[in-house]
Amino acid sequence: MNGPTRSSTPSSAGLAGAGRPALGRPPRVFRGYAIDLDGTVYLSGKLLPGAADTIARIRREGSRVVFLTNNPLRSPASYAQHLTGLGIPAEPAEVVTPLALLTAYLADRHPGRAALTIAEPLVDATLAAAGIAVTTEPASAGVVVVSFDRTFSYAKLLSAFRAVRQFGAVIVATNPDPFCPTQDGGLPDCAAMLAALEACTGARAEAVLGKPGEHMAAELLRRLAVPASEAVIVGDRLSTDIAMSRSLGMTSVLVLSGATTGAELADSPHRPDYVIDGIAALLPAEPGEPASGPAARPRGSSR
């Protein structure tokens, strides 16, 4: 659809162009929305205020929606089912996760190589379903896959260490997130497991899939099917959501409902175009609604 052009007033695009985000809701509706899940649409599985209504309105406006997550603990079908249960109808094809990127990457770059994983069972099952052999023997592994793993153990680290250090396996990680936001403060994420393996082996991951990497970026644009200049990324993390928007030339909206606080925003080199308290303030105000919407509070916490 054709929305109003982006404002060029000092309070919006002018501030963003000067490297300072505009505090408050964007003044236009975009043709495409790439929306993060954890910390943006829901937190600890519970819907955040205004999420369902906002996404329903985006769709009524005729805009496309794609959901993004760096969390590999669910399949796209499971995410779609969860969203639908929260009142946001979704199809698996509307959800982009690192797991589909992982299988495509390994099939393309390391065909025929077996993978040893630091991961939860879903990752192993996804690889096996894609015809990629999964092994627990370091000598048999050509690739070590590192993911968000709540079952992480010394035994897993030791096997991966031997695969890399003694047998030359390469490292591929699903996502770069240091922690996953939750209502009680968060959970250590993939970057923590990856750091342990890199520290003991001296090797570095040859690829880290998911946001803000090139593989997730390419898949996002393919799914949205609108020009990057007509699309916006909405998320709660500066180093992934906002960084990826910059690399693609998309507009960015930071929500302070998840991983990032106002204080962290002030110190970050990643500058969003807009900053809002939560997804309820993502769209221009409707008649009878305050024009400014819920504004950001740069010095406050997101929770």
- 53 has a pLDDT exceeding 60: yes
Between 184 and 121, where is the model more confident?
Answer: 121
Percent of the chain residues topping a pLDDT of 70: 87
Name the CATH topology of 98-208: Rossmann fold (3.40.50)
Average pLDDT over residues 205-231: 90
- 300 has a pLDDT exceeding 60: no
Structure tokens at 20: 């300072």
Average pLDDT score, the chain: 85
Average pLDDT over residues 91-105: 92
Highest mean pLDDT, choosing among 69-83, 135-149, 218-232, 236-250? 135-149
- What's the pTM value of the predicted model, to 2 decimals? 0.78
What does the pLDDT read at residue 17?
Answer: 39
- 103 has a pLDDT exceeding 60: yes
17-70+224-281 shares its CATH topology with 98-208: yes
- 303 has a pLDDT exceeding 50: no
Average pLDDT over residues 160-169: 98
Residue 118 pairs in a beta bridge with: 146
What does the pLDDT read at residue 45?
Answer: 82
Residue 212 preceded by cis peptide, ω within 30: yes
What does the pLDDT read at residue 44?
Answer: 81
- 2 has a pLDDT exceeding 50: no
What does the pLDDT read at residue 290?
Answer: 59
What does the pLDDT read at residue 19?
Answer: 57
Per-residue pLDDT of 21-35, as tens digits, reads: 667 888 889 999 999
> Residue 7: which pLDDT band, with cuts at 50, 70 and 90?
very low
The DSSP bridge pattern shows strands 42-43 and 32-36 to be: unpaired
- 214 has a pLDDT exceeding 90: no
What does the pLDDT read at residue 20?
Answer: 63
- 6 has a pLDDT exceeding 60: no
> Residue 264: which pLDDT band, with cuts at 50, 70 and 90?
confident
What does the pLDDT read at residue 239?
Answer: 83
What does the pLDDT read at residue 62?
Answer: 94
For 37: left if phi > 0, alpha if psi spans -120 to 50, otherwise beta; the answer is alpha
> Residue 266: which pLDDT band, with cuts at 50, 70 and 90?
confident
> Residue 287: which pLDDT band, with cuts at 50, 70 and 90?
low
Strands of 231-235's sheet in order across: 22-23, 274-276, 251-255, 231-235, 32-36, 64-68, 95-96
**Residues annotated as part of the active site:** 36, 38
Between 88 and 297, where is the model more confident?
Answer: 88
Per-residue pLDDT of 71-94, as tens digits, reads: 888 889 999 999 999 999 999 999
CATH number of 17-70+224-281: 3.40.50.1000
Domain boundaries, the chain: 17-70+224-281, 98-208
Q: What angle is formed at CA 108 by the lines to CA 37 and CA 244, rounded to 5 degrees?
A: 35
Name every residue whose Cβ is closer than 8 Å to that of residue 69 and which is 6 or more positions away in sequence.
36, 37, 38, 79, 95, 96, 97
Dihedral over Cα of 114, 77, 222, 71: its sign: negative
Structure tokens at 161: 């260490």
Give the residue ranges of DSSP H helices in the chain: 13-17, 51-60, 76-85, 98-109, 121-129, 154-165, 190-201, 214-224, 243-248, 262-267
Residues in the chain: 303
